[in-house]
Structure formats: structure tokens, C-alpha cells
Amino acid sequence: MRHEVLHGPAFSALRLDMAEGESVLAQPGAMLAMTPGFAIDVRAGMHMEGRRGLARGLRSLFGGESFFTVGYRAKRDDQHLMLAPDQMGEIRALEAAADDRLLLARGAFLACGPEVGFSLHNAGMQGMLATRGLFFLKTVGTGTIFVTSYGGIVEQSLAAGERFVLDNRNIVAFSDGMPFESVVLAGSLKDSFLSGEGFVVRFTGPGRVLYQTRARPSLGLLRGLVQSLI
């Protein structure tokens, strides 16, 4: 399977050229266009380690993604599929491996190959303060995943002991095992909130972190709290 990101970064679309038998999993509603030689199936959730059916769908939902996932399998050679997210932003291909797992923030997943699975990582209250969600999706296995953002995507690599600070609304993905903590930006909580930032996230290397150049619009206090919990 070959991939190409078109029309980026603001209006990115993903083209996948596939041979017979090759397949991809994608978020519902992401299909923009395709050739007719695909078999399509809808399943509950993504590949969740040790989970099936309803449990898999619920874990995808808790991870900030859709309950269902759509599978596209090429029935013959020379087929192509176009995918696009529902917001304006960049699409980035990332390579996940057993020794380089990634944690995805809410809404970052667009598609992946069938060899990539996920587990649900509970980050607790620290995760909710850091990325406004109690859970992350953690990659399992080796393969390519496609993430999407609101705005462009910037990747920052950190050396051992190196620190980097991000607004908690802008995180897309980061290395599993990389320490992070929620801190106030200014010297006092009052000054931090008056600066328009409130809590920010401080990462400590080694590892990599990907962030988006725009923050999604606020959902409001009540709706944002409910979404954080699920």
C-alpha cells in the first residue's frame, strides 16, 4: 500500500493506492472518494488488544474516537481510496513500533493499516489536565498510522532531560513512557489564567511530541467536562 498526502497542510487529503488483498481501517465519515473495487465492513472499534465487539467499541469511544471503525479491502489491483478529516488541518504518517509506541490525544486518529492495534492507556486526572481526556490510545504492533490535526503539525524531538512546554489544547501525539506533567505557565495560578493559558503541559525527554498549530474551539464548560470523561 502506497500513501500520499495531497493539498496540505490546510486542506489535507490522504490518497492510498492499494493492491488486491490490502486493507486499511479508518474513522467513519472519512471516505472522500474511491475506486469501486473495495469491500467495506463496519466493526465496533479499532483493533484493541485482547478485546472484541462491544468492549472494543467502548474502549475506542473512551479513547476519544468513534465507536465504529470502517474497514476497506481492495478486491483487485490498482485501487485507490481518498480519506479526509472533518476539520481543516494536516495529515501526518507516523511509524509505530514495539520499541517506539505512541500515545494519541483525542480526535487525532484518522486511519491505520491492519497490523497496527491499540490499547487504552488510563492517564487519570493528570491526563485530563494535560490533554482534556482521561484516556489515550496507545499503539500496539508495528506499522503506519495516519493522524490528523486542527492546523499544521509540528514534531519536536527531545534529548534525555530536555524539557518542552505545550498548551494542553494542542497536543496530537507523543512517545509512550515520556514523562509529562501539568503546570501553570506563570509564577502564580492567577497570573497563569489571566495570561489566557491556565494549565500547560511540560514534557521531559527523551522522546518526541507532535502538536497542532491551532487549538480547537472551546466546547463550553459542561460539554468539555463530559467529553473529557468519555
Q: Tell me the CATH number at 219.
A: 3.60.160.10
Q: Is the pLDDT of residue 180 over 80?
A: yes
Give 224 or 10, the one with higher predicted confidence: 10
Per-residue pLDDT reduced to its tens digit, 181-219: 877 765 555 554 555 556 788 999 999 999 999 887 655
Q: Which three cell numbers stand for residue 126?
A: 493528570
Read off the amino acid at residue 24: V
Torsion sign, CA atoms 40, 42, 47, 52 = negative
Record the pTM: 0.79
The answer to whether the CB of 60 falls within 8 A of the CB of 132 is: no
Residue in 108, 111, 99 with CA at minimum distance from that of residue 1: 111
Which residues are paired to 158 by β-bridges? 207
Helix (H) or strand (E) holding 168: none
- The confidence band for 46, taking pLDDT boundaries of 50, 70 and 90, is low
Q: Chain-centre distance of CA 179, in angstroms?
A: 19
Per-residue pLDDT reduced to its tens digit, 107-156: 899 999 988 888 877 665 555 555 555 678 889 888 999 999 999 999 99
Find the length of the chain. Answer: 230
Measured CA to CA, the distance from residue 207 to residue 203 in angstroms comes to 9
Sort strands 23-26 and 68-74 into parallel, antiparallel or unpaired: antiparallel
Q: How many structural domains is the chain composed of? A: 1
The answer to whether the CB of 73 falls within 8 A of the CB of 20 is: no
Residue in 206, 198, 80, 79 with CA at minimum distance from that of residue 132: 198
Q: Which three cell numbers stand for residue 64?
A: 476519544
* Domain region containing 42: 2-229
Residue in 89, 74, 205 with CA at minimum distance from that of residue 152: 89
The answer to whether the CB of 170 falls within 8 A of the CB of 213 is: yes
Name the one residue in this structure whose C-alpha cell is 498526502.
5
State residue 61's pLDDT score.
47
Residue in 3, 34, 19, 23 with CA at minimum distance from that of residue 146: 3
Sort strands 102-104 and 68-74 into parallel, antiparallel or unpaired: unpaired
